[in-house]
Structure 1
Amino acid sequence: MNVRDFQTQLIHYAHSIGIDKIGFARATPFPDLKQRLLVQQQLGFASGFEEPDIEKRTEPELLLEHAQSIISIAIAYPSKMKDAPQSKRGARRGIFARASWGMDYHTVLREKLAQLEAFILIHVPDAKLKSMVDTGELSDRAVAERAGIGWSAKNCSIITPEFGSYVYLGEMLTTLPFEPSVPMEDECGDCRLCLDVCPTGALIEGGQLNAQRCIAFLTQTKTMIPQEFRAKIGNRIYGCDTCQTVCPKNKGKHTAHQQAFTPDPELVKPLLLPLVEHTNRTFKETYGHMSGAWRGKNPIQRNALIALVHFKEREAIPKFISILHEDPRPVMRGTAAWALGELESDEGTSALKLRLENEEDATVRSEIQLALTKGEN
């Protein structure tokens, strides 16, 4: 088999099944990435969601014996939605980041990679392959950068000339010796808009992110969001798009051809108070197909309480009081206590004092005491 001819066939096939970009890279180690990951680890900047073994993240042959090439794919997602509902008093809405619009991208990209694998094995039955999307060991961005999909930007995204940074990435390790693509030149230049506008200062410098401060990370945690970040969450209930929306390279970039990612406005910009009412079952039925549902309802509902405070939604005070007294989850009770302190009302203060007499969780007690102190100032 002529590998070069087959590579051309594979590229045509990839485009025919809806893959927007495909590139090829050598499966050699990633020494620069290894150093960056070690620094991230030493500084405590990692999110904890990554593969903890840095060797596996930077040594492809540890994942697939005799690996020679890595195929990188990118699929574009939309940056705009039609008929976005308006948030208004008594009907406040949160927002899921664009990376959670439509079908869970893990499902879509895994399906595309499975189709690529099948195509390869028809032509090269003895090929060894290993695919991954996001949760795999390799760094999707490092592979995409090497494979010429785009350049690694200061906001820690891959930016493509065609779609900006609004792309999902996946890759496949293979024992086939494909011709490597040419990496792109970095086009960020002197621009530092993403660094300057990051709400929490999570972007330390170009290409370095302190995930512990990143709103996208914070909205996915299951514990209390630290006090210093709560006011910065805004109405985000999953993820954060700020460093993408301010990027000049994303200006005018909107692709709607991937039907799987067409957003349902009522789901990606949901009413906050009804969102808090979901049970595990109804949340899964409603949002389970979206990538933003992967951590379950608890973080989303906690974020919804913070968003209601962002809007100074006093109509939500009875709901905060109900959660404070009745919700079995300490994080929800603690967040409700903070919310009542922020909105300051006589009924809220009375509820906080009453709950303090019976609250056994130390973190919730601390939140109640802080909220009462705020009311006294």
Structure 2
Amino acid sequence: MYMKELKKELIAYSQEIGIDKIGFTTASTFDSLRNRLLEQQTLDYQSGFEEPNIEKRVRPELIIEHPQSIISIALAYPSKMKDAPLSTKGERRGIFCRASWGTDYHVVLREKLQLLESFIKEKVPNALTKTMVDTGELSDRAVAERAGIGWSGKNTMIITPEFGSYVYLGDLITNVPFEPDQPMEDQCGTCNKCVDVCPTGALVQGGQLNAKRCIAFLTQTKGFLPDEFRSKIGNRLYGCDTCQTVCPKNKGIDFHIHAEMEPDPDIAKPLLKPLLTISNKEFKEKYGHVSGSWRGKKPIQRNVILALAHFKDETALPELIQVMEEDPRPVIRGTAAWAIGKIGGGEAEGILQRALDKEKDEDVLAEIKKGLMLAAY
């Protein structure tokens, strides 16, 4: 009886501290997840950002001693930006995905989970706990699915009846034996929209993602973006929301519950050209609080260049030429050369030809040659 009361108290407390949804599950092994992860590993579909030890991802007893329960929490985030600035000719803008609007969600969820930890330890002084958000050993989505937060959609996101898939997830493992909640039935049915419209075909089939083809992953890489994906990026600077925006379960969903998740329009949808020459200090000061900054400015700047090429923004040519000639990083110089060719204009061939005579880096030379081919058309 005590544990039932404690669970009720914890649920009530979670609501007091601004947690939108909470669910409980056992700490038993995630056997079906193990099979999926092994298949992903065999197919080379993993991004490389995950916990590499599959057993740690599926066996909570490898994380804390004698685990009994896992608590899953969900916080709803906005899907629409108020007063979004327009992207206009000569003043083109990029976009950060919704999961990078407002304060880094890792920070927000960790604060909530720490409060839950303190509450549990106050009630059960010998309780053991371990919290994690996104980068922990366990799969937040597998925990949320088993804890009844939502079902795992064909887009591989957890979809909740209340908030759609626009939720951040976090977990708390404990040796306190809470009564588990029931998982939710899959409600995707025959709908296959997310799979059909994925820009890069990363959704191989419903519920299976080749992370290496996913734009959300590709925008975070630091090297040259493979040619086949450059025209798919559009003006995305970090992440991709396509599989969420097309989902019928997200239609009309837009919650503005947490002030810290509200986007600053000039940060979430920034002007592109100023980002080309932003310093490390300026980048950290302006973007350091958002989750999309975690890889530093290099991937963002490479994506800025691709976005300018996508828009064929001729007004950006002077800045792109400067970057191609002066930036010390080969990936940025080479991508700028490719973009100059893509944008074209009467002077593009001459500019790239002169760069070809001066450049020494083999990778950059290859990009200049690609730019020359594009400029010739």
Q: CA offsets, 1:201-221, max 9 Å, x none?
A: 000001100011100000000
SS of equivalent residue, structure 2 residue 231:
helix
The answer to whether 1:349 aligns with 2:336 is no
- Matched with 1:41 is 41
- Matched with 1:27 is 27
Shift of 1:179: 0.3
Shift of 1:103: 0.4
- Matched with 1:55 is 55
Shift of 1:370: 1.6
**1:112 aligned partner, one-letter code:** K
SS of equivalent residue, structure 1 residue 232:
coil
Shift of 1:348: 2.1
The answer to whether 1:374 aligns with 2:370 is no
TM-score w.r.t. the length of structure 2 is: 0.99
Unpaired runs of 5+ in structure 2?
none
- Matched with 2:149 is 149
The answer to whether 1:159 aligns with 2:159 is yes
Q: CA offsets, 1:67-90, max 9 Å, x none?
A: 010000000000011111000001
| Range with greater deviation from structure 2 (362-371 or 216-225) | 362-371
Shift of 1:350: 1.7
Shift of 1:45: 0.7
Q: Is the contact made by 1:321 and 1:348 (CA closer than 8 Å) also made in structure 2?
A: no
SS of equivalent residue, structure 2 residue 232:
helix
Q: Identity, % of aligned pairs? A: 63
Shift of 1:346: 3.3
How far apart, CA to CA, are the structure 2 residues paired with 1:179 and 1:261? 31
How far apart, CA to CA, are the structure 2 residues paired with 1:91 and 1:341? 20
How far apart, CA to CA, are the structure 1 residues paired with 2:126 and 2:360? 61
Q: Is the contact made by 2:95 and 2:238 (CA closer than 8 Å) also made in structure 1?
A: yes
How far apart, CA to CA, are the structure 1 residues paired with 2:67 and 2:51? 20
Shift of 1:53: 0.5
Shift of 1:340: 1.1
Q: Is the contact made by 2:113 and 2:172 (CA closer than 8 Å) also made in structure 1?
A: yes
Q: Is the contact made by 2:348 and 2:375 (CA closer than 8 Å) also made in structure 1?
A: no
The answer to whether 1:320 aligns with 2:312 is no
How far apart, CA to CA, are the structure 2 residues paired with 1:155 and 1:239? 14
Q: Is the contact made by 2:343 and 2:375 (CA closer than 8 Å) also made in structure 1?
A: no
The answer to whether 1:123 aligns with 2:123 is yes
How far apart, CA to CA, are the structure 1 residues paired with 2:277 and 2:147? 45
How far apart, CA to CA, are the structure 2 residues paired with 1:55 and 1:200? 30
Shift of 1:234: 0.5
Q: CA offsets, 1:254-309, max 9 Å, x none?
A: 10011110111111000000121211100000000000010111101110111111
- Matched with 2:263 is 263
How far apart, CA to CA, are the structure 2 residues paired with 1:279 and 1:216? 24
The answer to whether 1:234 aligns with 2:234 is yes
How far apart, CA to CA, are the structure 2 residues paired with 1:144 and 1:112? 16
**1:355 aligned partner, one-letter code:** A
- Matched with 1:205 is 205
How far apart, CA to CA, are the structure 1 residues paired with 2:218 and 2:256? 29
How far apart, CA to CA, are the structure 2 residues paired with 1:376 and 1:275? 28
TM-score w.r.t. the length of structure 1 is: 0.99
Shift of 1:373: 2.4
How far apart, CA to CA, are the structure 2 residues paired with 1:109 and 1:159? 18
**1:87 aligned partner, one-letter code:** S
Shift of 1:343: 1.4
Q: CA offsets, 1:127-169, max 9 Å, x none?
A: 0000000000100000000000000000010000000000000
The answer to whether 1:281 aligns with 2:281 is yes
Unpaired runs of 5+ in structure 1?
none
The answer to whether 1:170 aligns with 2:155 is no
Q: Is the contact made by 1:23 and 1:144 (CA closer than 8 Å) also made in structure 2?
A: yes
How far apart, CA to CA, are the structure 1 residues paired with 2:360 and 2:44? 31
Shift of 1:351: 1.9
How far apart, CA to CA, are the structure 2 residues paired with 1:307 and 1:197? 20
How far apart, CA to CA, are the structure 2 residues paired with 1:143 and 1:260? 25
SS of equivalent residue, structure 2 residue 18:
coil
Q: Is the contact made by 1:349 and 1:372 (CA closer than 8 Å) also made in structure 2?
A: yes
- The total of aligned residue pairs comes to 377
SS of equivalent residue, structure 2 residue 347:
helix
Q: Is the contact made by 1:140 and 1:169 (CA closer than 8 Å) also made in structure 2?
A: yes
How far apart, CA to CA, are the structure 1 residues paired with 2:156 and 2:207? 5
- Matched with 1:222 is 222
Q: CA offsets, 1:175-214, max 9 Å, x none?
A: 0110000100000000000000000000000110001110
Q: Is the contact made by 1:201 and 1:213 (CA closer than 8 Å) also made in structure 2?
A: yes
- Matched with 1:290 is 290
Shift of 1:22: 0.4
How far apart, CA to CA, are the structure 2 residues paired with 1:364 and 1:227? 14
Q: Is the contact made by 1:24 and 1:71 (CA closer than 8 Å) also made in structure 2?
A: yes
Shift of 1:47: 0.4
How far apart, CA to CA, are the structure 1 residues paired with 2:220 and 2:68? 36
Matches within 5 A, 1:176-191: 176-191=176-191
How far apart, CA to CA, are the structure 2 residues paired with 1:18 and 1:349? 57
How far apart, CA to CA, are the structure 1 residues paired with 2:21 and 2:56? 25
**2:189 aligned partner, one-letter code:** G
How far apart, CA to CA, are the structure 2 residues paired with 1:320 and 1:81? 29
**Which runs of 4 or more aligned residues in structure 1 lie more than 6 Å from their structure 2 counterparts after TM superposition?**
none
